[in-house]
Amino acid sequence: MSTAIEADIRQLYIESGDPLSVATQLAKRWDAGVLSDDDVRSLTRFMIHTGLLPHLFNQIRRQLKKDARIPWSALAEALARVDASLQPLELDAIFEGVESQSQTYQLDLLTNDLAESTGLDRFDSRPREARMRRVENAKRQHEDKRADLMRRLEYARVNRLITQERRILEEIQAFDPNDPALRREKDLFEFREAQEIVANALAQSPPKSELERKFSRLTPETREAARPIVKQARSMAKNASEQELYDLALMLIFMELYGEAVAILESRRLSERIDWMILETMILGRQYAAALGEVENLEVKYAGEPEAPFALTYARARALWGLGDTVTAIELMRSLVKVRPSYRSATTLLQQWIEEAP
């Protein structure tokens, strides 16, 4: 994360092209005590990387005279850059200064500043030990935070607090977006949330028979003309093989006799392929309410198959769209695309729906 002073450093350097001029101007702010700790770190890093070490030492000397706060990590790094050879008394003086400053500003000894640099590691083990303590402390805080989030998530899940669960999962994603376990939790929640939305939508749906009458395509005259063909297809279906049954259904589908195709398929569910064909035919024939019921049946029948939830979610969204529940259909398809971005037909249909939605 950039500090406020870094933009000033860039701008001043563009204007003057002289690192010393930049450091001199910004050191005035340091002397005036208007720079934050992060600003001081940015400025000292600039002075170190541009080779302005004598000016950095002079600046630190002025801070010492004023009994002001010292950037110990910058001092350690600068001493390492000039390959200084420190005597035990000089090292003790540095650590006494660190301890005094820690007490004055209520800081954790060594872990706040000096431990950020490896400049004194060759002389003393304390900075390295402080870094190890900092890492262990960060790990402990991370695990504690993760455990707290998981406890809150479990509570929200058990009590079916959907809004709270979504909020906690968003917090988890921001906390550790690369954790596969947390990512799986997010995916599972999105499917459960979609199922909840669908359940609510189904609870408010009109009766199935009313919906099927509403979406019936064929006129009575056309149905009467097709009666001999349908009768013969039903007769042949009684003893047909799986492939023959499939072909008979296709013939009826091509004739837009979707209800009749579903009827002969449902009479003999000979294979998994037939099950999926029934569902697709219901959707093609605008039997959307029946399709939603079929989705529920197939969810139970193919619960152990890893790909079934995706195909059934896709079918459920299409059926809901057909029933006019565009908001729920889009949200359901969006959740599917988010979990399975490679699902091209879902991605294409989602984009089409978003453009067509009122």
- Cα 34 to Cα 124: distance, rounded to the nearest angstrom: 33
Q: Which two tokens stand for residue 276?
A: 């999926």
- Per-residue pLDDT at 82: 85
324: exposed, middle or buried (Cβ count in 10 Å: 0-12, 13-18, 19+): exposed
- Per-residue pLDDT at 245: 87
pTM to 2 decimal places: 0.41
- Per-residue pLDDT at 186: 67
Q: What is the DSSP letter of 114?
A: G
Low-confidence ranges of the chain (pLDDT < 50): 1, 109-111, 198, 201-216
To 5 degrees, how large is the angle CA 104–CA 107–CA 109? 105
- Per-residue pLDDT at 318: 92
- Are the CB atoms for 280 and 295 separated by under 8 Å? no
pLDDT, tens digit, 9 for 90 and up, residues 203-247: 444 444 443 443 345 556 666 666 787 788 888 888 888 888 888
- Per-residue pLDDT at 119: 77
pLDDT, tens digit, 9 for 90 and up, residues 269-281: 888 889 999 999 9
- Cα 248 to Cα 236: distance, rounded to the nearest angstrom: 8
